[in-house]
Structure 1
Amino acid sequence: MSLPTVAFAMQPERTRYVLTPELLKRLAGLARILDERPITEFDERAKRLLGEAEILVKGRGAPGEAEILVTGWGAPFFDEAALARAPHLRLIVHAAGTIKGLVGRSVFEAGIKVSHAAEANAVPVAEFTLAAVIFAGKRVFQFRDIYAADRGRGRIQTLQGEAIGNHRRIVGIVGASRIGRRVIELLRLFDYQLLLYDPLISEAEAEALGAEKVDLAALMARSDIVSLHAPLLPETRHMIDARQLALMKEGATLINTARGALVNEAALIAKLQTGSINAVIDVTHPEIPEGNSSLYDLPNVFLTPHIAGAIGLERRRLGEMAVDEVARFLEGKQLLFEVLKQDLARIA
């Protein structure tokens, strides 16, 4: 009995470490890899891999007819035209987070199973957020700047005596997403009081997670640190605006590792320029701020270039989860991270 066939679609320069030699070897034991070189666009080679013509597999003629497509960052969008080129496709496993920019509804309507590694990508984001919360509570960046400016500890001794640190701090989590829940799970190990805003969960569900359910205004007003973990949907765009920012405590910190457009950036910059709050920002809208953006220069902003998610060696988790899903599919088991058509309206 011949092995099922698998092809890849991703940008190699963006997906190093996702499919390591060890993972490729394991995958080759499950399916026949048509070509280790991934598809980056739906060109003639892609057509051959997906089933429109004969291709060469290790020097021998063989039908392409990919049944499984493992995708990653930089994969081309799989629309109806691409679907027509892949008549034998049964499964798409995305070795990355969100699949919104990868597949359309036609894929689900064709009966193709879809899975993704968003759960694996959530791990480093939650770890990054935990570090950001701890550093924010201890005002690590302010200590760093003062120490470097003074080359001494005079002002630092004074700052150490202020009401800072992480003991019994109030942390507000916006969004009980997979990442939001992981962050709550990590923070429960510390002496934090946790607030949660998510209109889709009940008070009992929030309590079971270890948090108090509150509305957004209460969360913004009560929290020492606010961390955003909501998906970007029409109803969540600019959910953090001037009104919400005005509610924040003096010296509070806003952390955004979710999506830049959740925040009205102009309102945020205006608030930050007053010096009354701090921010740890990993995502912006646009994805790269304009060169003259104040976010690069404000002393109360710690700006990073969208690195909270899987980078470097952390990407192996994505490949491991993708290969695990391929194995489950071929064994006739339920996919653990399947995405359904109705999920498209609410996932990040």
Structure 2
Amino acid sequence: MTPPSAHPDAEPKQRFRWGLAITIALVGVGVTVLGSLLFGEEDPDAYWASAIVNLGTTIFLASSLVWVERVLVNRVRVTTRKVATDAADEAATRAAKAATEQTVEALMPRLDDLDQRLRDRQNSVADEVATRAAKVGESGSFENLHSALSDADALNALARPRQGEDAWSTRGVEVIVPAGDGLSAPRIVTTLVPDGPGRTRTLTLSYENAGRAHRRAMATWVEGESPEDVFVKLQEAMIAEGLGSRSRELSVRVFFENLAGVVGDAILARRAADGAWLSGSPVIELVSNGLAITTEGVDARGVDGHAAERAQFGSYDSRVVSNIVGYRVSHDPPDGVTNEAWLSALGRATGHYVHQSTRW
């Protein structure tokens, strides 16, 4: 194992061959002495002078060659090391790039598949809850209605119970729908009472009177009771309040059809499902087919967002009774909405938004 202090590029040391060096030196001395015996007898001084000059020249050349050799070796070594390093870096880069491309190629199909699975799951869930809501219009059972309203409650798709003189809960959801054909049909508020420990699952139906005091006539619906039972109780409560003629106008069939439709549409809009026509704001009231009041504005089928924003309805002037200031909603209906339905929606929305004692 290489010690931590050792340089990673250090060359291994080689043993100096003393025997070879001594042999070469002795051979050189022998050749010089032999030359003196053979050629230096006539003029020894000239021979040794020449020998010394040759020896100095040889030493100079040898040292020069050694220096040049070292320089060349170092340059070759640096160049070789750089080429090897560049080649290794390039190979590593190519390998990393290839690995990344393989990883991306392997992941992309799975990610694309994941996106499709998520879209399919969202559509499946939206279809499932819409189907549960649609069952309300088919059977009108307590179980189906409670399940649909619970789905809407979990998504905040419907308005919370109103605040003010007729408030009784700060939890749960409620929605208003016509219980008959036409804009003048009686309107019923359906409220989901939140579940709690030791509390019976409960719904309430109450007669809605132009956005105010909708608890004047109310019926409590508990599990096990039929739709007929609860509507009999509601009619009796309306009769007791002097609303006998209005009670005779109630249509249970239309009520459940409208309720199933608006709850399903509100859930689909909240989930931003394909084909949803509502804006996604919690729904307060279904005015007519394709026209609804939400907590943030009036929605109309075919209009993106709100056909009329809540802020456009202004507020009551505290100095003058019943005087609304800041009202700037156009009375021209959107495409596909009748003038009568639009004016009815604006009147009812004004009651929901502006009246100080009944507001969401």
Using the size of structure 1 for normalisation, the TM-score is: 0.22
Higher relative contact order (CA 8 A, sep 6+): 1
Greater radius of gyration (CA):
2
Using the size of structure 2 for normalisation, the TM-score is: 0.21
